[in-house]
Amino acid sequence: MDLNNLNKIRSVEAPPYLFTRILQKIEQAKVEQVSKPVFWLGSFSFMILLAVNTLVLFNTKTEPITTKNYAEYIQLTPNNTLYK
Amino acid sequence: MVFEELYNTYKKLVFNLALSYVQNVEDAEEITQDVFVSVHKSISSFNETAALSTWMYRIAINKSLDFLKAKKSKKRFAFLTSLFHDDSNELKHNPASFNHPGVLLEDKEALAALFNKINQLPDSQKTALILHKIEHKPQLVVAEIMDISPKAVESLIQRAKVNLSKKINGSEG
């Protein structure tokens, strides 16, 4: 086995279809890549939404649920009359 | 320089260099694609003080070595999976076929055996050997591409030769 055998390797041409494939890959990468302003706008909107939800949750006063409250809420009637 | 012009100037260089690393047309095509996608992304960051060909060589070498690393880890994972799924029809050991279009049929066997040993060398020795012995680059140019001193290149090539002869004698003896 001789290193001079490496001299027998000939240079070859790249396949002609390769450039089209490269352009396809570049286009694909562009589509997949989310632009920075869109990313920050999305993140900012999500944070605002989260903040509003948290504020609403903590600032809403709710009455404790009792059997009477719940019965009124689902409109339970204390008699057997179905139609008024 | 327009991207297409850049591609036409360096496609042969990149494809042949990738072939020297992987000795397989399909893999060399994949590496060439990765190299030019990467070049397209980072062309604006190209440092004008370095030669464009040196820059192209560096990207092609890095992509080829990354490809080989990824392939090696994939192979290791496939081997481990096949140990646990003995009923699978996948081959436990699937050596990449030697498919170098620049090698004549009568030289194929000898070169496949030689590349088999070259592929076992450390990355830096393999790169120095490929650039010097296959790409026929002078040691000064190899040093510039690899960003090391010419003395270091000389030492890498010397060590590569010693390691190769050890491997060859070991397998023959």
Contact flag A9-B134 (C-beta cutoff 8 Å): yes
Cα A79 to its chain centre, rounded Å, is 51
CA distance B153 to B144: 10
**Contact residues, chain A, for B18 at CB < 8 Å:** none
In angstroms, the separation between the Cα of residue A46 and the nearest Cα of chain B is 30
CA distance B11 to B172: 38
For chain B, how are helix, strand and coil distributed in percent, rounded to 5?
75, 0, 25
% of residues, chain A, pLDDT over 90: 44
Contact flag B134-A3 (C-beta cutoff 8 Å): no
**Contact residues, chain A, for B117 at CB < 8 Å:** 1
Determine the 3-state secondary structure of B24 from DSSP. strand
Give the count of beta carbons closer than 10 Å to the beta carbon of residue B103. Answer: 22
% of residues, chain A, pLDDT over 70: 93
- The beta-carbon neighbor of A18 closest among B29, B101, B117 is B29
Q: What is the predicted pLDDT for the residue at B38?
A: 93
For residues A36-42, average pLDDT: 84
CA distance A65 to A72: 11
In angstroms, the separation between the Cα of residue A41 and the nearest Cα of chain B is 24
Q: What is the predicted pLDDT for the residue at A1?
A: 62
Contact flag A22-B33 (C-beta cutoff 8 Å): yes
* CB-neighbour burial class of residue A3 (10 A; exposed 0-12, middle 13-18, buried 19+): middle
For residues A59-66, average pLDDT: 78
Question: Which residues of chain B are modeled with pLDDT < 70?
Answer: 1, 47, 49, 85-96, 171-173
Q: What are phi and psi of A65, to 5 degrees?
A: -80, 120
CA distance B74 to B14: 24
For residues A58-81, average pLDDT: 79
Q: Are B68 and B126 in contact (CB under 8 A)?
A: no
Q: What are phi and psi of B24, to 5 degrees?
A: -155, 125
ipTM above 0.85, yes or no: no
Q: How confident is the model at residue A46 (pLDDT cuts 50, 70, 90)?
A: very high
- The beta-carbon neighbor of A15 closest among B29, B41, B161 is B29
In angstroms, the separation between the Cα of residue A38 and the nearest Cα of chain B is 20
